A and B are shown apart, each in its own frame.
Chain A
Amino acid sequence: MPISLTSEAAVLDGYIDITEVDALYPWLQDHPETPVDVTDCTGAHTAVVQVLIACGASIQGAADTTDWRQYLLADRQFYAKKRT
């Protein structure tokens, strides 16, 4: 199960497809303050990213990353600093 939604947290694991939005969006509305953990999330569909940003989800596990998960943080930009 790539997505687990509980009253304590939402945990995203692996690649999250657009179909998961059906479950994720109502959960985000019901749990506006509950953390969303993306530590083990390898990728997500645009719709998933959009709904996370739109609902202002409180993201966990993105701060230390240097990949697409930067989009989920406040300034929503991604910079490939060291490209070879």
Chain B
Amino acid sequence: MNALLTQFVAESRDLIETASKALLDLEQNANDKDQIDQLFRAVHTIKGASGLFEFQPLTKTVHAGEDLLDTIRAGDVAFTSEIADVLLEMLDRCVEWLDQVEENEALNDNAATIGEALSDRLRALIDTPVAGAALTDDAPEAEEVALSWPEDIPELDVNGAVTLVRYTPSENAFFTGDDPLRTVQSTPGLVWSRIVPPEDWPVSGEIDPFMLAISFDIVSDAPPQEVEEHFSYVSDEVTFEAIAAASDAPALDEPLRAMASALLASQRELLASDQASPAEEHCTASAGVVLRRIARSIGVTLTPDLDPNNPRATLDAWMALLQPALIKPAPVAAAKPVEAAPEEAVDDGPEPAKQSATPTRANSHLRVSSERIDTLMNLAGELIVAKNAMPFLAQKAEAIDETGELVREIKAQHNTINRISEELQSAIMQIRMVPMSTILSRFNRLVRDMSRKLGKEIQYVVEGEDTEADKAIVDELAEPIVHLIRNSIDHGLEDPAMREACGKQRMGTIHVKAYQHEESVALEVIDDGKGIDVDTVVAKALERGLVDQEKVANMSHAEALQLIFLAGLSTKDAVSDLSGRGVGMDAVASMVRRLGGTIAISSEKGRGTKITMKLPLSMAVQRLMMVEVGDGLYGVPIDRVVESQKIKSSNIRRHRDAEMVVMRDRLIPLVRMRKLFACDSSDADDILSVMVVDVDGRESGLVVDKFHPGVDAIIKPMTGVLSNYPCYSGTALLGDGSILLALNLREIIECQYH
């Protein structure tokens, strides 16, 4: 995909996002002029940009939308939810089309039909007769007439609209007694014609002189009906195009005039530069094309005709002809086009203002593909790993360096590189940070559509949308949030009538709250619906055999509530098409855990439900505590480590198989890592190394052989055979080249109990 198209797709997506948001806000307050303007501007810009490419259905549809918005802006048509529906559909369609463009650089075949139907619906909404007539009928037709002069047809000295006929007679025309040339020459109002030879002429000896191979281009200034009538016998062999004569070109406004001047100057520069002869040929040819176009748009006739022997001289003459025409009417504006524009723009409409603002904005922001940032991030990660090799190097040096000077040097360098790599990493992290609003604002639409479908009245409140997190995390969060919001709307919030009966407001609220919590980003989805009935959850879990009676009996309210995260549990009896496919909460939980996050639920019957997710700010480099078990090194994410202690084995309390220890008045179950990894049980040590970790709010003590210092590492997911071992979350490369296995604590604790 070329750069321009890539940019178009990216910008259009942003604009669609803006437009959707404005539309939804407008639904709340139909008279908000700012939102109407913003919506109009976004749609207008998409339309304008799409015109650069051959995406007719897209341009046409968005044009219809723009016309509709224009009448709304003018106050001729009142904004209603029906209008919002169709406009939202238009935006959805645009997103779909942009996907197609991104994939194939073209729209699917059905786009034209879909676009046509959608434009008709949009235009049907412009029902005020006066405004409607002007916008629906005249505008598109005017556009058809104003087809620009085709590039392959030379400039002709004609007045008014003319018809271009492309005539490709059948190759058997001679056998039916036709003489196409005669038809061409007798064309009414014939201004110009030419013979177009076939692309692949056979070599001289192989021509069949009685098979027609040539075709014709004809320009006529007779009325179109007359021309069409002339060719009526060969109607399937001709196409007609209305093309605008040069004198019909609209008067230039100031910015365009300035642009034309700049173009002219650039052509002069191009011609002035000394080029080798093949390049020179191209330069003059392209300059010729540009000059012809400028002339056409400002209505100047170029004389003399291009002299093929001395094109330079002709081009110079043309430029001399164009220059006065460009500066004569508005010398001041042409000289200072940019400064002049913004002042007019305020009254004139939003678009020129945007144009003049673009250059400054383009300077301060850079659009970079996320892949490049990812590469940079990976490299920074590698650097951090490579840096970790230096302490090992220092150790080696210690063995051979008696004075210790070398060791000191290495350590000093290590500190410097350490500092730089950490700064580098945090700088890249800053680039990758995006506000949560990029996904949260999207759900406005989801809530709106679902509430209409289910006949519920719902208010969507977002708090802390400026909270930033790594783009990867934010993107990954979108899916769990969709599930949660759907669940809340489908299962949580009651019908308006039922809410009133319970003494609540008719309108339910979905509150999404984002905030930063230590080194993680927290997201809460809160609804004020009927809450989760724990008994139903327990009954369902028992019914599906997900849990046994004995276990349930010992469960607290909060623990029972966690059952909702078990796979295959859905509490809504009828499976709706919105949610409740039985993949609800467990899918959310596993998604969050895969990202290294935690999820918690609290709910009060009749009052509502609150789900809290916490995710790391970034997924890249993690700090791990290293522990030794058997002869292997293992990593534990440092944010899970509560404390590391040495305890006397005599302090261990036993209850049946379970071992536990009291630390700071807390009873902490112990997990013997050597036993779990089936290592030889170590000699009954008197002193045990215990690392207390926190998993989902529950503390456990891992009994390990030895503690090691912490390390920064990039954890790569397990692949191949190793991915079957769920007790590891991934591997990391250490500075000395050895491999560190990162522990999946949840699995390890589960293993201990099952």
Contact A53 B204 (CB under 8 A): no
Contact A77 B207 (CB under 8 A): no
- Chain A positions within 8 Å of B201 at CB level: 54
Contact B195 A71 (CB under 8 A): yes
Interface residues of A toward B: which range?
20 to 34
Contact B194 A76 (CB under 8 A): yes
The one of B181, B192, B205 in contact with A45, judged by C-beta atoms closer than 8 angstroms, is: B181
Contact B192 A78 (CB under 8 A): yes
- Given A45-B179, A77-B154, is A54 in contact with B207 using a C-beta cutoff of 8 Å? yes
- Given A32-B204, A45-B179, A77-B154, is A51 in contact with B209 using a C-beta cutoff of 8 Å? yes
Most chain B beta-carbon neighbours within 10 Å: one of A51, A56, A71: A71
Give the shortest distance, in Å, between A35 (CB) and chain B (any CB). 17
- Chain A positions within 8 Å of B212 at CB level: 46-47, 50
Complex interface residues of chain A between 42 and 69 (CB less than 8 A to chain B): 44-47, 49-51, 53-56, 68
The one of A18, A32, A55, A71 in contact with B207, judged by C-beta atoms closer than 8 angstroms, is: A55
Give the shortest distance, in Å, between A29 (CB) and chain B (any CB). 6
- Chain A positions within 8 Å of B173 at CB level: 46
- Chain A positions within 8 Å of B210 at CB level: 18, 21, 47
- Chain B positions within 8 Å of A45 at CB level: 179, 181
- Chain A positions within 8 Å of B213 at CB level: 50, 54
- Chain A positions within 8 Å of B205 at CB level: 29
Query: Chain B 165-186, CB within 8 Å of chain A: the 1/0 string?
Result: 0000000011000111110010
Complex interface residues of chain B between 142 and 196 (CB less than 8 A to chain A): 154, 156-157, 173-174, 178-182, 185, 190-195
> Is B214 part of the binding interface, using a Cβ–Cβ cutoff of 8 Å?
yes
Query: Chain B 652-688, CB within 8 Å of chain A: the 1/0 string?
Result: 0000000000000000000000000000000000000
- Given A21-B210, A50-B214, A55-B204, is A80 in contact with B181 using a C-beta cutoff of 8 Å? no
Contact B181 A68 (CB under 8 A): yes
> Is B304 part of the binding interface, using a Cβ–Cβ cutoff of 8 Å?
no
B169: nearest chain-A partner, CB-CB: A46
Give the shortest distance, in Å, between A4 (CB) and chain B (any CB). 19
Contact B195 A47 (CB under 8 A): no
Contact A54 B174 (CB under 8 A): no
Contact A25 B209 (CB under 8 A): yes
Contact B194 A53 (CB under 8 A): no
A33 to B164, CA, bound (A): 36
A79 to B351, CA, bound (A): 42
The one of B174, B197, B202 in contact with A46, judged by C-beta atoms closer than 8 angstroms, is: B174
- Chain A positions within 8 Å of B182 at CB level: 46
A77: nearest chain-B partner, CB-CB: B194
B210: nearest chain-A partner, CB-CB: A47
Contact A78 B207 (CB under 8 A): no
Chain B residues within 8 Å of chain A by Cβ, number: 28
The one of B174, B185, B204 in contact with A47, judged by C-beta atoms closer than 8 angstroms, is: B174
A25 to B173, CA, bound (A): 19
The one of A18, A53, A83 in contact with B195, judged by C-beta atoms closer than 8 angstroms, is: A53
- Chain B positions within 8 Å of A46 at CB level: 173-174, 178-182, 212, 214
- Chain B positions within 8 Å of A71 at CB level: 181, 194-195
A32 to B182, CA, bound (A): 27
Query: Chain A 30-41, CB within 8 Å of chain B: the 1/0 string?
Result: 001000000000
A71: nearest chain-B partner, CB-CB: B195
Contact B195 A80 (CB under 8 A): no
Give the shortest distance, in Å, between A65 (CB) and chain B (any CB). 14
The one of B154, B157, B197, B204 in contact with A76, judged by C-beta atoms closer than 8 angstroms, is: B197
A32 to B204, CA, bound (A): 9
- Chain B positions within 8 Å of A53 at CB level: 195, 197, 214
The one of A50, A51, A78 in contact with B193, judged by C-beta atoms closer than 8 angstroms, is: A78
Contact A79 B192 (CB under 8 A): yes
A44 to B315, CA, bound (A): 37
Contact A78 B194 (CB under 8 A): yes
A54 to B210, CA, bound (A): 12
Contact B192 A21 (CB under 8 A): no
- Chain B positions within 8 Å of A79 at CB level: 156, 191-192
A83 to B190, CA, bound (A): 9
- Chain A positions within 8 Å of B191 at CB level: 79-80, 83
Query: Chain B 206-227, CB within 8 Å of chain A: the 1/0 string?
Result: 0101101110000000000000
- Chain B positions within 8 Å of A18 at CB level: 174, 179, 210
Contact B195 A76 (CB under 8 A): yes
B183: nearest chain-A partner, CB-CB: A46
- Chain A positions within 8 Å of B180 at CB level: 46
- Chain B positions within 8 Å of A77 at CB level: 154, 192-195
A47 to B209, CA, bound (A): 7
- Chain B positions within 8 Å of A54 at CB level: 197, 201-202, 204, 207, 209, 213
- Chain A positions within 8 Å of B202 at CB level: 54
Give the shortest distance, in Å, between B204 (CB) and chain A (any CB). 5
Give the shortest distance, in Å, between B226 (CB) and chain A (any CB). 15
Complex interface residues of chain B between 94 and 122 (CB less than 8 A to chain A): none
- Given A46-B174, A80-B190, is A29 in contact with B181 using a C-beta cutoff of 8 Å? no
- Chain A positions within 8 Å of B178 at CB level: 46
- Chain B positions within 8 Å of A76 at CB level: 194-195, 197
- Chain A positions within 8 Å of B156 at CB level: 79
Contact A29 B204 (CB under 8 A): yes
Give the shortest distance, in Å, between A16 (CB) and chain B (any CB). 11
- Chain A positions within 8 Å of B207 at CB level: 25, 51, 54-55
- Chain B positions within 8 Å of A44 at CB level: 181
A55 to B549, CA, bound (A): 98
Give the shortest distance, in Å, between A39 (CB) and chain B (any CB). 19
A63 to B193, CA, bound (A): 17
- Chain A positions within 8 Å of B185 at CB level: 68
A25 to B154, CA, bound (A): 32
B189: nearest chain-A partner, CB-CB: A83
Give the shortest distance, in Å, between B404 (CB) and chain A (any CB). 88
- Chain A positions within 8 Å of B154 at CB level: 77
Give the shortest distance, in Å, between B288 (CB) and chain A (any CB). 15
A44 to B191, CA, bound (A): 20
- Chain A positions within 8 Å of B179 at CB level: 18, 45-46
- Chain B positions within 8 Å of A51 at CB level: 207, 209
Give the shortest distance, in Å, between A45 (CB) and chain B (any CB). 5
Give the shortest distance, in Å, between B351 (CB) and chain A (any CB). 40
- Given A32-B204, A54-B207, A54-B213, is A49 in contact with B192 using a C-beta cutoff of 8 Å? no
- Chain A positions within 8 Å of B209 at CB level: 21, 25, 47, 50-51, 54
B182: nearest chain-A partner, CB-CB: A46
A44 to B185, CA, bound (A): 11
Give the shortest distance, in Å, between B233 (CB) and chain A (any CB). 15
B158: nearest chain-A partner, CB-CB: A83
A76: nearest chain-B partner, CB-CB: B195
Sorted nearest first, the 4 A-B pairs with minimum C-beta distance are A77-B194, A46-B181, A76-B195, A79-B192
Q: List 12 A-B contacts (CB under 8 A).
A: A25-B209, A29-B204, A50-B209, A53-B195, A53-B214, A54-B207, A55-B204, A77-B192, A77-B194, A77-B195, A79-B191, A80-B192
Residues of chain A whose beta carbon lies under 8 Å from any beta carbon of chain B? 18, 21, 25, 28-29, 32, 44-47, 49-51, 53-56, 68, 71, 75-81, 83
Given contacts A51-B207, A54-B213, A68-B185, 14 further A-B contacts (CB under 8 A): A29-B205, A32-B204, A46-B181, A47-B209, A50-B209, A50-B212, A53-B214, A55-B204, A55-B207, A75-B194, A76-B194, A78-B192, A78-B194, A79-B192
